[in-house]
């Protein structure tokens, strides 16, 4: 039995993985096993690289849920890019999108409304907005510190980059991220409801 270990460094996180391999007296069997492990690892890295991504969340716009202490030690979240391939998100999801103001920047916000929803805005040019087809409404949890749909309006689903599925750093904050809406946010039944 032989232990093989490999390490990876991503977003300032060092991860190590070890596997145990039976070392056969026949050198050809051992080489074949190691080649299979290496090939499988390469496929897994490519597949995971397309399906997931670790991103560091900076700033106060998603406080108190993300970066609750406002420390320099920012939360790192796992983005599930596969789950949004058909632009399927739900209210309460935390998503990463290309900024409508700067396409070189990705921002992370919470989905408040989906296409067809009536939203009561927070300082947007219109008090109520019907989210158009092919768009959704996103907001930061910390409204006073967030550049979001209340600044630039509904966001095209084509700008969707991924859905945050887990907080993976720091270790004491590890948790699955489940969809939830902040109090008094979400769609209205009609434009006049308040």
Report pLDDT digits (tens) over 68-94: 987 667 899 999 988 777 777 899 999
**Which range has the top average pLDDT, 1-15, 40-54, 93-107?**
93-107
Q: Tens digit of pLDDT for each residue in 105-164?
A: 999 999 999 999 999 999 899 999 999 999 999 999 998 899 999 999 999 999 999 999
**CA–CA separation, 162 vs 82, rounded Å?**
8
CA 166 to chain centre: 8
The catalytic residues are 61, 109
Say which residue the tokens 């997931």 belong to: 52
Q: Among 172, 146, 164, which residue's Cα sits nearest to residue 71?
A: 172
Residue 47's pLDDT is what? 47
Q: Which domains does the chain have, with CATH numbers?
A: 2-52 (no CATH), 57-188 (2.10.109.10)
Shortest CA distance to 106 belongs to which of 136, 143, 79?
Answer: 79
Q: Residue 8: which H helix or E strand, with range?
A: strand 2-10
CA 66, distance to chain mean position in Å, is 12
């Amino acid at each position: 039995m032989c232990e093989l270990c490999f390490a990876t460094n991503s977003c300032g996180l060092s991860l190590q993985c070890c596997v145990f391999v039976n070392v056969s007296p026949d050198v050809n069997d051992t080489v074949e096993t190691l080649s299979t492990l290496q090939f499988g690892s390469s496929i897994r890295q490519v597949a995971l690289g397309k399906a997931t991504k670790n991103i560091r969340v900076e700033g106060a716009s998603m406080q108190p849920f993300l970066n609750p202490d406002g420390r320099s030690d920012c939360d790192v979240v796992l983005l599930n890019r596969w789950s949004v391939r058909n632009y399927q998100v739900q209210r309460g999801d935390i998503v990463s999108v290309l900024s409508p103001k700067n396409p070189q920047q990705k921002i992370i916000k919470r989905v408040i409304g989906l296409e067809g929803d009536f939203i009561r805005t927070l300082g947007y040019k219109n008090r109520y907005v019907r989210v158009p087809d092919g768009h959704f409404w996103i907001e930061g949890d910390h409204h006073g510190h967030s550049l979001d749909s209340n600044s630039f309006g509904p966001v095209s689903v084509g700008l969707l980059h991924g859905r945050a599925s887990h907080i993976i750093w720091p270790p004491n904050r590890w948790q699955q991220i489940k969809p939830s809406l902040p109090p008094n946010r979400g769609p209205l039944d009609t434009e006049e409801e308040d």
